Structure 1
Amino acid sequence: MQPSDVDGYFSSLLSLKKEYERDITIYIGFESEYIPELMYKQDQFLSGYPVDYMILGQHYNESEYNSHYNGHGTNSFEQFTRYIDLIIEGMESGRYKYVAHPDILYYAGGEAVRVEQYTRLCKYFKEHGFPIEINLIGVKNGHHYPSDRLLRIANEVGNTAIIGIDAHTPDLIGDTGSIELCKNVAANYDIKLIDYLPGLEPQI
């Protein structure tokens, strides 16, 4: 979404909230990166908008204009650990309810490092009550996320999970077949699914 699109995004959702207030609860969410040196500007930009909750989508470790896209993967230990560090630091900032596709960065290095870092992440999520996202686009299109390794560790740690539709494909919100695929993924790894984020339960 370009900055010029943000006004229209919020105005359309506010209109829908009013139109359907007797039928459903609509929350306005916003997914963003956590790039430490840019957070002041981001906070300033969003301060005038009625954001109900934020999701962290860590697609880059630095500003996207001079950074490797995390979805392409890496065999760099430094890039991978920096990615996990930024997710935890971002969640510690209190801005976000959970992390979209927390394993979008595919680490092609050693398995021991992958296990160590995913375990660190899952334990942090468990301690703070953040669910693991089962990303519907990832499941439907056979992406490298959600990854088998992360889900196995999430099972061992005892994490909960939530299904994320992903803003790239809003038409999938009503795609019950794809949602069932995600439910099956959670069941296969014996991970409890939650329907609502804490504090965002329906008000109807």
Structure 2
Amino acid sequence: MGSSRVRRARNVPLWTAIAATIVATTLAVVHARVVPLPGMASLEGLSIDARFRMRGARAPGTDRIVIVALDDDTRVEAPEVFQTRRGYARLFDALTAYDPKVVAVDLLFGSREEILPAELAERVRAANATPPADPALAALIAAIAEELRGDEVLAEALGRSKRVVLGAYFVQGAAVANAKEPAGFAVAGL
């Protein structure tokens, strides 16, 4: 009898595994239910990377689906794609030129593009409506006013394409009475 107690007490790997499981489970519950723990997203990313490396490269199952990734090289070579709606419009026009059946986009344009403060943007639009006599100044104001049309340019590109599907997540709530449809929907023909 005495030797079985000694064996149980010496089973260090079992107790280590039990303790590690309890700690990992506690951290997972705290992260999921209480407060996000720093570093968990990085740890998950490393885990995913490791699993893909262990699996190895695979040949595509089909050539019917193409994923266009916007990476750090794209950010350096074409920063306007990330910075302006006009850049996204050019990207969608370029993708549409390849005649795909659909272009699914994992982006959400949740608010209007603001290149300038609203008051200054209105002043530019007003100045463009009644251009000054100086042709150089009028051209400058017109160019700035055109840059402020990023949302409209994007909506026009979506309308031309008729193939771009924007992914979005909406929280269900009470319906808003008499809400106006965003202007971009009409421009895009949606």
Report the TM-score when normalising by structure 2. 0.35
Q: Would you tell me which structure has more helix in proportion to its own residues?
A: 2
The structure showing larger relative contact order (alpha-carbon pairs under 8 Å, at least 6 residues apart) is 2
Higher Cα radius of gyration: 2
